[in-house]
Chain A
Amino acid sequence: EAQVTQNPRYLITVTGKKLTVTCSQNMNHEYMSWYRQDPGLGLRQIYYSMNVEVTDKGDVPEGYKVSRKEKRNFPLILESPSPNQTSLYFCASSLYAGANYEQYFGPGTRLTVT
Protein backbone atom coordinates (compact mmCIF):
# COMPACT_ATOMS: atom_id res chain seq x y z
CA GLU A 1 0.00 0.00 0.00
CA ALA A 2 1.30 3.43 -0.98
CA GLN A 3 1.81 5.45 2.15
CA VAL A 4 3.77 7.92 4.22
CA THR A 5 4.60 6.71 7.70
CA GLN A 6 5.70 8.73 10.71
CA ASN A 7 7.02 7.64 14.07
CA PRO A 8 6.28 8.14 16.83
CA ARG A 9 2.63 9.15 16.57
CA TYR A 10 2.63 10.69 20.04
CA LEU A 11 5.55 11.99 22.06
CA ILE A 12 5.82 13.81 25.35
CA THR A 13 9.28 15.06 26.18
CA VAL A 14 11.11 17.63 28.26
CA THR A 15 12.82 20.84 27.25
CA GLY A 16 16.28 20.29 25.81
CA LYS A 17 16.11 16.56 25.21
CA LYS A 18 17.03 15.87 21.58
CA LEU A 19 14.49 13.94 19.57
CA THR A 20 13.95 12.68 16.05
CA VAL A 21 10.65 12.13 14.26
CA THR A 22 11.03 9.73 11.38
CA CYS A 23 9.23 9.94 8.05
CA SER A 24 9.31 7.33 5.33
CA GLN A 25 7.48 6.96 2.00
CA ASN A 26 7.27 3.92 -0.26
CA MET A 27 6.21 5.68 -3.47
CA ASN A 28 9.65 6.68 -4.80
CA HIS A 29 8.67 10.33 -4.44
CA GLU A 30 11.30 12.98 -4.98
CA TYR A 31 9.68 15.79 -2.98
CA MET A 32 9.22 15.57 0.77
CA SER A 33 8.36 18.20 3.35
CA TRP A 34 7.60 18.76 7.00
CA TYR A 35 4.75 20.90 8.35
CA ARG A 36 3.55 21.90 11.74
CA GLN A 37 -0.10 22.58 12.50
CA ASP A 38 -1.16 24.94 15.28
CA PRO A 39 -4.68 26.13 16.16
CA GLY A 40 -5.64 29.26 14.27
CA LEU A 41 -2.44 29.24 12.20
CA GLY A 42 -3.03 26.38 9.81
CA LEU A 43 -0.25 24.28 8.38
CA ARG A 44 3.16 25.91 8.05
CA GLN A 45 6.13 24.46 6.25
CA ILE A 46 9.26 23.76 8.29
CA TYR A 47 11.66 22.25 5.72
CA TYR A 48 11.38 20.64 2.35
CA SER A 49 13.54 18.45 0.13
CA MET A 50 13.53 18.34 -3.66
CA ASN A 51 15.60 15.16 -3.78
CA VAL A 52 18.34 13.26 -2.01
CA GLU A 53 20.86 15.59 -0.36
CA VAL A 54 18.80 18.66 -1.40
CA THR A 55 16.97 20.38 1.45
CA ASP A 56 15.80 23.94 2.05
CA LYS A 57 14.09 26.02 4.69
CA GLY A 58 10.37 26.57 4.74
CA ASP A 59 8.54 29.31 6.59
CA VAL A 60 9.33 28.25 10.18
CA PRO A 61 12.70 26.41 10.22
CA GLU A 62 14.10 27.76 13.51
CA GLY A 63 14.86 25.02 16.01
CA TYR A 64 14.63 22.18 13.49
CA LYS A 65 17.04 20.19 11.34
CA VAL A 66 16.44 17.70 8.57
CA SER A 67 18.45 15.35 6.42
CA ARG A 68 17.75 13.44 3.21
CA LYS A 69 20.34 10.72 2.81
CA GLU A 70 17.96 8.29 1.13
CA LYS A 71 15.05 9.00 -1.16
CA ARG A 72 12.49 7.32 1.07
CA ASN A 73 13.42 8.87 4.44
CA PHE A 74 13.21 12.45 5.68
CA PRO A 75 13.69 12.67 9.45
CA LEU A 76 12.93 15.80 11.45
CA ILE A 77 15.37 16.54 14.25
CA LEU A 78 14.78 18.79 17.24
CA GLU A 79 18.21 19.29 18.80
CA SER A 80 16.94 21.14 21.89
CA PRO A 81 13.14 21.13 21.98
CA SER A 82 11.31 23.97 23.65
CA PRO A 83 7.66 24.31 24.73
CA ASN A 84 6.86 26.50 21.70
CA GLN A 85 7.56 23.46 19.52
CA THR A 86 4.57 21.68 21.02
CA SER A 87 2.49 21.04 17.93
CA LEU A 88 1.05 18.51 15.49
CA TYR A 89 3.62 17.61 12.85
CA PHE A 90 2.98 16.22 9.38
CA CYS A 91 5.35 14.79 6.85
CA ALA A 92 4.24 14.85 3.22
CA SER A 93 5.56 13.70 -0.13
CA SER A 94 4.78 14.13 -3.81
CA LEU A 95 6.06 12.52 -6.98
CA TYR A 96 8.22 15.35 -8.24
CA ALA A 97 9.79 18.48 -6.85
CA GLY A 98 7.31 21.25 -6.27
CA ALA A 99 3.82 21.43 -4.91
CA ASN A 100 1.97 21.05 -8.23
CA TYR A 101 1.56 17.36 -7.65
CA GLU A 102 -0.81 15.55 -5.34
CA GLN A 103 0.45 15.66 -1.80
CA TYR A 104 0.45 12.52 0.34
CA PHE A 105 0.48 13.15 4.07
CA GLY A 106 1.62 10.99 6.93
CA PRO A 107 -0.71 10.34 9.90
CA GLY A 108 0.82 13.08 12.04
CA THR A 109 2.94 13.20 15.19
CA ARG A 110 1.58 14.99 18.21
CA LEU A 111 4.51 16.41 20.16
CA THR A 112 4.30 17.91 23.64
CA VAL A 113 7.37 19.58 25.12
CA THR A 114 7.15 20.35 28.85
Chain B
Amino acid sequence: KNEVEQSPQNLTAQEGEFITINCSYSVGISALHWLQQHPGGGIVSLFMLSSGKKKHGRLIATINIQEKHSSLHITASHPRDSAVYICAVTNFGNEKLTFGTGTRLTIIP
Protein backbone atom coordinates (compact mmCIF):
# COMPACT_ATOMS: atom_id res chain seq x y z
CA LYS B 1 0.00 0.00 0.00
CA ASN B 2 1.26 3.41 -0.93
CA GLU B 3 2.15 5.74 1.91
CA VAL B 4 1.48 9.40 1.13
CA GLU B 5 3.13 12.00 3.33
CA GLN B 6 2.51 15.72 3.18
CA SER B 7 4.50 18.53 4.73
CA PRO B 8 4.04 20.76 6.47
CA GLN B 9 0.85 19.75 8.27
CA ASN B 10 0.05 23.38 9.04
CA LEU B 11 1.34 26.53 7.39
CA THR B 12 0.61 30.15 8.23
CA ALA B 13 1.93 32.91 5.99
CA GLN B 14 1.44 36.57 5.22
CA GLU B 15 -0.48 37.69 2.18
CA GLY B 16 1.77 37.88 -0.85
CA GLU B 17 4.22 35.19 0.25
CA PHE B 18 5.27 32.33 -2.01
CA ILE B 19 3.89 29.05 -0.66
CA THR B 20 5.22 25.52 -1.13
CA ILE B 21 3.45 22.35 0.01
CA ASN B 22 5.18 19.02 -0.42
CA CYS B 23 3.95 15.50 -1.05
CA SER B 24 5.98 12.30 -1.11
CA TYR B 25 4.86 8.74 -1.74
CA SER B 26 6.46 5.36 -1.27
CA VAL B 27 5.50 3.31 -4.34
CA GLY B 28 5.40 4.12 -8.06
CA ILE B 29 2.20 5.71 -9.25
CA SER B 30 0.34 6.41 -12.48
CA ALA B 31 -1.00 9.82 -11.45
CA LEU B 32 -0.98 12.33 -8.63
CA HIS B 33 -3.82 14.68 -7.70
CA TRP B 34 -3.83 17.93 -5.77
CA LEU B 35 -7.15 18.80 -4.15
CA GLN B 36 -8.37 21.85 -2.27
CA GLN B 37 -10.82 21.69 0.62
CA HIS B 38 -12.30 24.96 1.86
CA PRO B 39 -13.55 25.45 5.42
CA GLY B 40 -17.11 24.69 4.28
CA GLY B 41 -15.92 21.18 3.46
CA GLY B 42 -16.27 20.99 -0.31
CA ILE B 43 -13.37 19.41 -2.23
CA VAL B 44 -12.19 20.67 -5.59
CA SER B 45 -9.66 19.06 -7.90
CA LEU B 46 -6.80 21.46 -8.68
CA PHE B 47 -4.40 19.34 -10.70
CA MET B 48 -3.85 15.84 -11.96
CA LEU B 49 -0.36 15.10 -13.25
CA SER B 50 1.84 12.17 -14.10
CA SER B 51 5.00 14.04 -15.13
CA GLY B 52 6.55 17.49 -15.31
CA LYS B 53 4.69 20.59 -14.33
CA LYS B 54 1.26 22.18 -14.63
CA LYS B 55 0.18 25.78 -14.03
CA HIS B 56 -3.21 27.30 -13.43
CA GLY B 57 -3.30 30.96 -12.53
CA ARG B 58 -1.18 31.45 -9.41
CA LEU B 59 -0.94 27.72 -8.72
CA ILE B 60 1.86 25.51 -10.00
CA ALA B 61 2.21 21.76 -9.46
CA THR B 62 5.35 19.79 -10.17
CA ILE B 63 6.18 16.12 -9.91
CA ASN B 64 9.47 14.22 -9.87
CA ILE B 65 8.67 10.60 -10.62
CA GLN B 66 12.19 9.33 -9.85
CA GLU B 67 12.22 10.96 -6.42
CA LYS B 68 8.52 10.11 -5.76
CA HIS B 69 7.83 13.71 -4.82
CA SER B 70 5.45 16.47 -5.83
CA SER B 71 5.14 20.11 -4.83
CA LEU B 72 2.28 22.56 -4.99
CA HIS B 73 3.30 26.22 -5.19
CA ILE B 74 1.12 29.27 -4.73
CA THR B 75 2.50 32.60 -5.91
CA ALA B 76 1.31 35.95 -4.47
CA SER B 77 -0.77 34.18 -1.84
CA HIS B 78 -4.11 35.65 -0.82
CA PRO B 79 -6.41 35.06 2.17
CA ARG B 80 -8.87 33.27 -0.13
CA ASP B 81 -6.16 30.61 -0.65
CA SER B 82 -6.70 29.58 2.98
CA ALA B 83 -7.81 25.96 2.80
CA VAL B 84 -6.65 22.40 3.32
CA TYR B 85 -4.60 21.09 0.39
CA ILE B 86 -4.70 17.34 -0.12
CA CYS B 87 -2.37 15.18 -2.18
CA ALA B 88 -3.65 11.87 -3.55
CA VAL B 89 -2.03 9.20 -5.72
CA THR B 90 -3.29 6.54 -8.09
CA ASN B 91 -1.31 3.35 -7.76
CA PHE B 92 -0.25 1.32 -10.80
CA GLY B 93 -2.75 -1.42 -11.61
CA ASN B 94 -5.16 -0.15 -8.97
CA GLU B 95 -8.34 1.85 -9.45
CA LYS B 96 -8.13 3.46 -6.04
CA LEU B 97 -6.81 6.73 -4.70
CA THR B 98 -4.59 6.93 -1.62
CA PHE B 99 -4.77 10.27 0.15
CA GLY B 100 -2.40 12.27 2.31
CA THR B 101 -3.77 13.80 5.48
CA GLY B 102 -3.64 17.32 4.10
CA THR B 103 -1.86 20.60 4.72
CA ARG B 104 -3.84 23.36 6.42
CA LEU B 105 -2.84 26.70 4.90
CA THR B 106 -3.77 30.02 6.51
CA ILE B 107 -2.95 33.28 4.76
CA ILE B 108 -3.06 36.34 6.99
CA PRO B 109 -3.95 39.71 5.40
A: which residues have CB within 8 A of B?
A: 31, 40-45, 48, 50, 58-59, 88, 90, 92, 97-105, 107-108, 110
Contact = CB atoms under 8 A, between A and B. Distances in A.
Nearest to B46: A102
Query: Which 3 pairs, one residue from A and one from B, show the smallest C-beta to C-beta distance?
Result: A105-B43, A42-B101, A99-B90
7 contacts: A40-B101, A41-B101, A42-B99, A43-B97, A90-B43, A99-B33, A102-B45
Interface of B: 30-31, 33, 35, 40-45, 48, 50, 86, 88, 90, 95-97, 99-102
B33 A103 contact: yes
Given A48-B95, A48-B96, A59-B96, A105 B42 contact: yes
B68 to A, nearest CB: 17
Contacts of B97: 43, 45, 99, 103
Given A42-B86, A43-B88, A99 B96 contact: yes
Most chain B CB atoms below 10 A, which of A40, A92, A99:
A99
A44 to B, nearest CB: 7
Given A43-B88, A99-B31, A100-B50, 6 more contacts: A88-B41, A98-B90, A99-B95, A99-B97, A100-B90, A107-B41
A114 to B, nearest CB: 21
A108 B41 CA distance: 7
A103 B48 CA distance: 9
B99 A44 contact: yes
Given A42-B86, A100-B31, A50 B95 contact: yes
